[in-house]
Structure 1
Amino acid sequence: MNHTIKTLVIMLALAMPLVSFSQKGIIRGQVIDGETGEPLFSANAVLKGTMTGATTDFDGKFELSAEEGTYNLEVTFIGMASVNITDLKVKSGDVTVVEAIALKPASNELGEVVITAEVARNTQAAMMTLKKKSTNVIDGISAGELKKTGDSDAGDAAKRVTGVSVEGGKYVYVRGIGDRYTKTMLNGVDVPGLDPDRNAIQIDIFPTNLIDNMTILKSGLAELPADFTGGLVDIVTKDFPDRPVFDVSVGLGYNPAMHFNSDYITYDGGKTDFLGFDDGTRALPEGADDNPIPSPFSRSTYSDQEINDFIGSFNPTLGAMKQRSFMDYDLGVSAGNQKMLENGNKLGYIFSLTYKNSTDYYDEVEYGEYVLPTQGNDNPEMLYTNKRNGSKGSNNVLLGGIAGLAYKTQNAKYQFTVMHLQNGETEAAQMHVDNSENGNATGQSGYQAYQNSLVYSERALTNVLLSGEHHLKDDKWEVNWRISPTLSRMDEPDLRKTSFSINRGDSTFEAGQGGNPRRSWRDLSEINTVAQLNLIRKHKMFDRDAKLKFGGSYVYKNRSYEILTFDLQSYLNWPEFTGDPNAVLTPENIYPNGSQMWYNPSQEEVNANEYTSTAHNTAFYVSEEVSLSMRLKAILGLRAEYFVQYHTGRDQAGANGAQGGNVLDNEKVLDALDLFPSANLIFAKDENENIRFSYFRSIARPSFKELSFAQIQDPITDRIFNGGFYEYTDGGTGEVLWNGDLTETRINNFDLRWEMFMKPGEVFSISGFAKFFDNAIELVRIPTAQTTSEFQPRNVGNGQLFGAEIEFRKNLGFISPVFDKYSFSGNFTYAYSQIDMSNVEEEGRKAYAREGQEITGKRPMAGQAPYIVNAGLSYDNLDKKFNAGVFYNVKGRTLEVVGGRVFPDVYTEMFHSLNFTARKAFGKDSRSAVTFKVKNILNDVQESFYVGYEAQDQIFSRLSPGVQFSLGYTYKFK
């Protein structure tokens, strides 16, 4: 990681000389075809009354220089009506940018178009042009809109896009569909995130001043990967920044409920925790991965002193401590520029280094486990099996760096980008555990316990992108290619959980029902490599412009995962514990002294919680874009993906060598060749009105973790994730409840949209969509695990989803000129979903139905929100360099975990997010800017509930994030 940061700093130092340029002013812009949205190659841009002019390249971009002053810029192209941009101000040593100059075919009515420079700089209008002329259903937000809203990162900005919600400020969900069906890409390439089990990358690490645009594609094309259904988020970074960028930013965040709180809990970690990685303090003790390890059972190999030394090498800190919490803070530096070389080619660079340090403290955390009564069906109220309440503190560090170089000739462009993300989170929790009063719930004994949990998670991701784009034979052929390897690591070293059972009445602490003190080391490494080749041929069909696309891609993934777990055991009676976890590993308690405590690892001959998986995805595609008439365009395509996955792993019986155990040795667990047809039809009713229809077929594949025998226990909630390979039967009847055959979900998608584009930046659209799921995968509460809380991904049956979207963006000047600087935007998504239950689920629900409850065999899809609302009121005063806005987002109550039999379903409650943002630029050339934000103004609470028929909702999880205030300052160097 240190080497990577050094590399980024060196690249910045080498590139900084590019910031300086001629004392003349520079004008940069882009020219596009107003009919197709395509860049115009070889258009001419001339400053009227001068001899200064330039010709556009294959991106439609041009650059020219001029003395300080005010000019009229004329843009022309053969067969197109010219555009004249007036009042274009040029400053010495500065860059003036005009955005997306659209030329239209010449006609008698259309001789010359005259627009002002202010309109030409409307980058949101450029995004509207992209939406208007796109070949599939998209929504998005441009760099100009990002600047206007004052959003510092892509996570905040994405909330403003139609049908989008952002979980935890990091992960994008489209149309309310969960992470499984949403995909995030960077510059058109699949990049895994810091959490390898998610399709989405953490988008909050991308500063807005390095983003060219962010688009959300809601319908498929043959050239796109097939494993997205709700939407594909593509974050495009600037390769050649139009203006020189060298910004330094600092920010502070304050939450009255969390910060400067002396009750905040944490524990001593390593000296480098503030950088997002452990310095070795939590490393696995030497000899802990030997077989056998030093213990009383290996005295023939180790002496008593060696056993004592080994046990003593474990960190004795098992309990959290109180410490005053600090406020959130972040730092950032971004740089970018482009320079015209002597040979007429261009060299550009971007660089960004971001550091975020956030502290959370929740003093009223609640987790609950509930079941239905098994005696009779006349009582609808649920019984608790386990309730946890207490406090939790966490410190999260994110260190992110992006550096890129781009080189452009008249006919080609090459880009090289390196990204490194480093994330470390220290977490501590103290919980009171209440297990089923009097043991009246099935499988529960009834006890009280006090639990300390100490958790550290370290994630690192390094991605490299090398890409090229070539335009051949007068731009009739385009060839582009990308190679992108990614290395991911996730370490969770020395996770510690210490529970003391509390005897009723006398407050005596002891080991036992609360579980023995336990610690674990988890290690994950993954390699992800993507290679793409795309070819585009422009030609004529039916005497109209057409475009043939074909190409292929190859994705290779390999993951290794291992968990080592150690329980503290005692030869004799347990010592008399005081309730202080940090007094457990005292010398008098450790073998061979006193109670002779020692660490005992998992007993399998081979580690059951270890696996290696490899996946290969080879794809080819072909598509044809053709205009069937002057108003009707069709894009028809076919994609083929051959996906193969191999797995090496075993269940617990197989790890012990028991008869009937399952052992996989590099065996195929997925092997399928799928065809993914797509069709997009666009009917241009007139210049500003489209009707779109789209069909595409997509797929959702199980993750590596889901397709395994892994068993992963959360050290705070004690909830256990079980891999999908585990089979489950009814202990009484022997009926197979789950056969362990987890497979892909295949989806057919239909979209219909009517859209109308009004004044620049204004839009109104109505969409309808339908999706049909074959073998949907959902997270299910394992019905046979009644003494523990265990969950498993399963194919639950076929599903259907029907929805509608409305989007509008309107300036309020039509009411009165007083409101000319105000605009209102909003979007609403409604979705109706249902799963046709399997016979096992339906019969299980009927067996435990309450009196009067009707089981229909259908239920909502897990992870699918019934509605999403985004709304915003913005004020933008260009003269005073001030903008502000109030933004609201809510997602309807959503099925989170599928229950069944004795377990009720879990629903995520609505979270009403109301946020305020204000940004003021000031100083010379508006170099300084201050941003003020308030998040969660309504002080809403994040809750999930068990929901039962005619029963009171009961808590599954509850956190109160409080109200957060933040202040940021950015300074732009010239």
Structure 2
Amino acid sequence: MKKFLFITFLAFSQLLLAQSTGTLKGVLSDGETNNEPLPFANVLIKGTVIGTTTDFDGNYTLNVPAGTHTVVFSFLGYKTIEKPITIVAGETLTVNQILSAEEGVSLEEVVIMSAASRESVSALLLEQKKATVIKESIGAQTLSKIGVSDAATATTKISGVTKSQGTGDIFIRGLGDRYLSTTMNGLPVPSDDVEKKNINLNLFSTDVIQNVGISKTYTTSGYADQASGNVDVVTKDYSKKGYSIGVNGGTNTNVLDYDGDFRTTITNNDVSLGFHKKQYALQDLISRQGWDTETISAQPINYSGSLSAAQKFEIFGKDLSFYVSATHSKSYDYYSGEFQSFRQNREDNVFSDVESFTTKTNTSGYVNLKLKLNDANSLKFNTLFVNKSSNNLYEQGRNGLGFVYDQDPQEDGAFVRDQNFKQTTMVINQLIGKHDLNENNTLTWAGGYNFVLAEEPNRIRNEVNILDVASSSEIQFAHVGDYQQRKSTQKIEDVEYNAYVKNNWKFGNLNEEGDKPFALNYGVNYRRKERDFKSQAIGVLARNYKAPSVDELSSTFVQSNFDNGLNLRIGEVDLFSGELNVLAAFADFNFTLNEKFSGNLGLRFERDEINVSWDVANYVGRIGNTSKTYENLFPSLNLKYEVAENQYIRFATSLTQTLPEFKELSPFEYVSPTGRVSKGNPDLEKSDVVNVDLKWEFFPSRGEVFSVTGFYKNIKNPINLAQSRGSSGNFIFYNTGEKATVKGLELEARTSFIKNEDDDTVLGFNANLTKMWFSQDLDDVFQYKGKTESNLQGASDLIANGSLSYSSNKEKEFVATLTGNYSSDKVFALGSPEDFVNSATLYNDEIIEKGFVSLDLVLSKELTDRLSVKLVGRNLLNPEIKQTQFVRNVNTEIETNETVSNYKQGVQLTLGVKYAF
């Protein structure tokens, strides 16, 4: 009975208490970061112990006794605000507040917190949660923990994204280079490779990255040339005063295990710190510089160094801040493997002992200047300088067992060496302005100037036959095409101007969160891109000439032999130039109809004009041109509905396009080190793409998310790289059919297995899985073996990424992160018939790039407040990188799956030390 009375009394007391209190709630915003939510701010009822802190979304809730009180809002370094309030029992009072910096108070410590949040997992998930469009990002905080060194690798930590091994090429939802776009701070950036549409993301080191975002759905403020998505690299700006220096050293296990001195090209003699200094004209290189390779050392060591500095000044009463960084790195790669090619189901090239030696350098400098004119106006200037080089020595057939079909003087004993130094110098300049015209109207504008110079100053190629395999002492120069011994040069210059002006106008009555429910964004985009390409080759007809060995070919190319029958052919200069002009106007309408439903509706008009002209040897008549002009409307719709607390359903649909690139339109032939030849097709037309996405998201707590996405794409006139029809055996770009479809399902989970008392993750797990189904019809000219459909070129149907991370979350933090990636088989190049009448037997089947698993481990430890050390192991499983092709024996009619190429890249081990002061 006593227990019953006590419980009754307690319940009655709680009822009386509830009837004598009300609820105070609201959102605190950060006036220093464009009114973004302010987490971890203090909310206190003055004169009481009643208080709380805001959550990561800036929300707070308090139960307050009925009556008149004063609520105090405070945050470190910000001006404290006191407000009188009246609480009515049983009712809810909403008080939203913006906090700004205390006048005269240094914001350095506060800015540290703000900048860190823009790079953190939680902040980027908050941005993903609030965004209307489907967007995912990864920040500098995560990149540091998982040991990512560049933007290309960063993107693979996002669902549905894979990267080609050994390159900076990425695939979003199975669609590659031509189907995506790349921007830096929202402005287009140029490609550094004539073979690519997008820039090599390896060029963006993590010293300049604040975060990398991928928008998988389209909004009309962006260029329409994106079918799979846009990659936006947001660069760093000032966050706090400080300086840092870092050094790294390491090796590749393939290099470590190589038995002998590491070899390189003869051009290496003209290279210093990745910069080539031209010594002779191309014609003089034939006899005045040798043709044989050089050696470096037994086991060269990879190394890199970095410097960064950040400072803030006051100039004429204005705040000026800067962030600068500089890096230089050098690395060595080696692999051995095999390569073979087939024509009409017969062996064309067979090499069982391929070797590749590569020396890479990367020198970059980044400067960010930010001028705050006043509370309403600011300017930002970014410039990024990159000089990268790749010095590649590629050999096949040194063992004397190489085979080249129909080669003279013989097919057996074939040996091929390709020496190629490539240097790319790139400068990106951006000026960005932001102006708050009033509390409801914000104008932003930006302009960019980009320049790229890519050169191959002295490419050397030799093709010979080893006549005496046993002793390898009798070497005769091959002469299938008469000039199989050649030196060549190639130069590309890209200049680009781009700009945008955008205005955001908010209107409508304030909602409970203190925001206006409607916004109209409208503006214009402009882009002009120019490319000039020049290539020339000089060949030597060395018929019947011999050399002592494959390492002493230079003894043949001497003046006395040129005076006595060694013929020289100076090739005509191959040229092509391209212009891309884009002018667009757009408008999109953001709306919030209630607390649960919001969306974005947009329309874009874009005019794209492409002009390409050429003068190349492999085009009938040499000279030609093509011009294409497209004018289209591009609509987009993005909807978001809150089905429950922290659970959202998103729907998106849009129309985008894929424009053919300069290199896809120009018929210039480019020969890879293996001998594969690719060229463009002037008859290419653009692809039109319909996109549909449906996504469910759940954010259970700070830093956690679970999501499921279904997506569909319909591509009209898909562009693919295919093996050419006829006798050339080249790879050419085609509109291979009328349409292609992509259907996919993405699953994502970011969660914490273990948290500490401060709600920080101790053991966290991230994983995502993407399954896709591809189909495209094939035009009659691409059908063989009765095949009328194919997968898309470059598309993996299964992608999986995952990471397991441990953090001590203590002073002198220790972090360990294990990450893994898998992408399934994908089509490297589509097949084609060589004889339409006999297409069941005379064809080249598609080449498949096999899937593989990669695994990385990063261990980092803060030794002191300023000194940290990091150990990184990449590609720990060292999987086989392999291409295969089905080949039908013309005699037995039995089809077998043959290896086209295979090699292993080796395990990359790096130890780094960083000191901050």
Q: TM-score band, normalised by the shorter chain?
A: 0.7 to 0.9
The secondary structure found in structure 2 opposite 1:812 is strand
Q: Does the alignment pair 1:663 with 2:620?
A: no
Residue 170 (structure 1) shift: 3.0
Q: TM-score, normalised by structure 1?
A: 0.78
Gaps of 5+ in 1: 1-30, 51-59, 61-68, 86-90, 102-117, 289-309, 374-381, 655-659, 726-740, 850-854
Partner of 2:291: 317
Contact map agreement 1:371 1:441 (CA 8 A) in 2: no
- Select which of 420, 423, 427 maps to 1:462: 427
| Residues 1:683 and 2:679 are matched in the alignment | no
Q: Is the 2:328–2:361 contact (alpha carbons within 8 Å) kept by the matching residues of 1?
A: yes
Q: Which residue of 2 aligns with 1:563?
A: 535
Task: Give distance in 2, aligned partners of 1:444 and 1:751.
Answer: 59
What is the Cα deviation at residue 127 of structure 1? 1.1
Map 1:40-79 onto structure 2 (within 5 A): none
Q: Distance in 2 between matches of 1:46 and 1:677?
A: 44
Given that 2:545 and 2:556 are in contact with CA atoms closer than 8 Å, whether structure 1 keeps it comes out as no
User: CA offset at residue 33 of structure 1?
Assistant: 5.7
Match of 1:511 in 2: 477
- Pick one of 518, 536, 545 that aligns with 1:574: 545
| 2:413 aligned counterpart, secondary structure | strand
424-433 or 575-584, which deviates more: 575-584
2:523 corresponds to which of 541, 544, 551:
551
SS at match of 2:666: coil
How many residue pairs align between the two structures? Answer: 822
CA distance in 1, matches of 2:28, 2:182: 27
Q: Secondary structure at the match of 2:764?
A: strand
2:905 maps to: 961
Counterpart of 2:248? 251
Pair 1:599 & 2:530 matched: no
Shift of 1:332: 0.6
SS in 2 for 1:128: helix
3-state SS of paired residue (2:754):
helix
Cα displacement (A) at 1:573: 5.0
Report the counterpart of residue 733 of structure 2 in structure 1. 793
**Does structure 2 retain, via aligned residues, the 8 Å contact 1:334–1:352?**
yes
Give yes or no for the alignment of 1:407 onto 2:371: yes
Tell me if the contact between 1:510 and 1:577 (Cα under 8 Å) persists in the aligned partners.
Answer: no
435, 438, 443: which is aligned to 1:479?
443
From the superposition, tell whether residues 441 and 273 of structure 1 become closer, same or farther in structure 2 (CA, over 3 Å).
closer
Please state if 1:158 is matched with 2:155.
yes
Q: Does the aligned pair in 1 maintain the 2:475–2:546 contact within 8 Å?
A: no
> What CA distance in whole angstroms lies between the structure 2 residues aligned with 1:898 and 1:435?
32
In the alignment, which of 769, 777, 793 is matched to residue 719 of structure 2?
777
Q: 1:819 to 1:33 in 2, by over 3 A?
A: closer
Q: Which residue of 2 aligns with 1:911?
A: 852
Alpha-carbon displacement from aligned partner over 1:307-359 (angstroms, at most 9, x marks no partner): xxx5865412344557424121111111223346673x422111111111010
Please tell me whether residue 876 in structure 1 is matched to residue 807 in structure 2: yes
Q: Could you tell me which amino acid in structure 1 is paired with residue 200 of structure 2?
A: Q
Quickly say closer, same or farther: Cα 1:330–1:946, change in 2 above 3 A.
same
Partner of 1:720: 677
Give the TM-score taking structure 2 as reference length. 0.82
Q: Does the CA contact (< 8 Å) of 1:677 and 1:696 recur in 2?
A: yes
Aligned match of 2:657: 699
Kept in 1, the 8 Å contact 2:755–2:762? The answer is no
Q: State the identity %.
A: 23
- For 1:319 and 1:912, locate their aligned partners in 2 and report how far apart those are by CA, in whole Å: 35
Deviations 1:201-234 (A, max 9, x none): 3334444354332211110001011111222111
> What does residue 360 of structure 1 align with?
333
Residue of structure 1 aligned with 2:613, choices 633, 648, 652: 648
Structure 1 residue aligned with 2:883 = 944
Structure 2 counterpart of 1:146: 143
Aligned equivalents of 2:635 and 2:76: distance in 1?
53
- Find the partner of 2:358 among 391, 394, 399: 394
The yes-or-no answer on 1:617 pairing with 2:561 is no
Structure 1 stretch displaced more, 424-433 or 217-226: 424-433
Paired residues of 2:28 and 2:38 also in contact (CA < 8 A): no
Distance 1:914 1:575, change over 3 A: closer
Aligned to 2:708: 766
Relative distance call for 1:40 and 1:257 in structure 2 (3 A) is closer
Instruction: From 771, 783, 793, give the equivalent of 1:862.
Output: 793
1:518: how far off? 1.0
Q: Deviations over 1:399-440 (max 9, x none)?
A: 111111111120011011111110111111222189999988
Distance 1:461 1:864 in 2: 29
Equivalent residue for 1:757, pick from 681, 685, 699: 699
Q: Is the 8 A contact 2:613 2:626 kept in 1?
A: no
Q: Against the structure 1 CA distance between its residues 649 and 273, is the aligned structure 2 distance closer, same or farther, given a 3 Å change threshold? A: same
What amino acid is the match of 1:135? T
CA distance in 1, matches of 2:233, 2:94: 32
Q: In 1, distance between residues paired with 2:443 and 2:138?
A: 27
* TM-aligned CA distance change 1:754 to 1:38, over 3 Å: farther
Q: Is the 8 A contact 1:74 1:83 kept in 2?
A: no
> How far has the Cα of 1:92 moved from its partner?
11
Contact 2:409/2:465, CA 8 A, preserved across alignment? no
Cα distance, 1:679 vs structure 2: 0.5
More divergent stretch after superposition (475-484 vs 258-267): 258-267
Change in 2 beyond 3 A, CA 1:811/1:329: same
State the match for 2:830 in structure 1: 898
> 1:250 and 1:341 mapped to 2: Cα distance?
34
Correspondence 1:500 to 2:457: no
What amino acid is the match of 1:525? E
What are the equivalent positions in structure 2 for 1:257-336 lying under 5 Å apart? 257-259=254-256, 261=258, 262-269=260-267, 273-281=271-279, 283-285=280-282, 288=283, 313-319=287-293, 321=295, 323-336=297-310
Separation of aligned partners in 1, 2:41 and 2:313: 19
- State the partner residue of 2:837: none
Where 2:124 maps in the other structure, the secondary structure is helix
Change in Cα spacing, 1:703 to 1:584, as seen in structure 2 (3 Å) is: farther
CA deviation map 1:509-538 (0-9, x unaligned): 212346631111111111111111111111
| Alignment correspondent of 2:200 | 202
Letter in 1 for 2:863: F
Contact 1:141 1:213 (8 Å CA) reproduced? yes
* Alignment map for 1:99-114 (pairs within 5 Å): none
Could you say which residue in structure 1 is the equivalent of 2:602? 637
- In 2: Cα distance, 1:418 partner to 1:121 partner: 21
Compared CA separation, residues 779 and 928, structure 1 to 2 (3 A): same
Alpha-carbon RMSD: 3.7
Of 818-827 and 421-430, deviating more is: 818-827
Residue 179 of structure 2 aligns with which residue?
181
1:747-802 deviations in whole A, cap 9, x for unaligned? 1111110000011000000000001111111111113135xx41111111110000
Residue in structure 1 matched with residue 818 of structure 2 by the alignment? 886
Asked if 1:530 is matched to 2:495, the reply is: no
Q: Higher mean Cα deviation, 185-194 or 755-764?
A: 185-194
The residue type paired with residue 711 of structure 1 is E
Name the structure 1 match of 2:770: 829
* C-alpha spacing 1:32/1:585, structure 2 compared with 1 (3 Å): farther
The SS at the match of 2:121 is helix
| Alpha carbons 2:588, 2:603 under 8 Å: kept | yes
Superposed CA offset, 1:571-626 (max 9, x none): x853565444433445464332xx43242122x6xx4x211111111111111111
1:628-674 CA deviation, whole Å, 9 max, x = no partner? 333211211111111112222145376xxxxx73633xx55211112
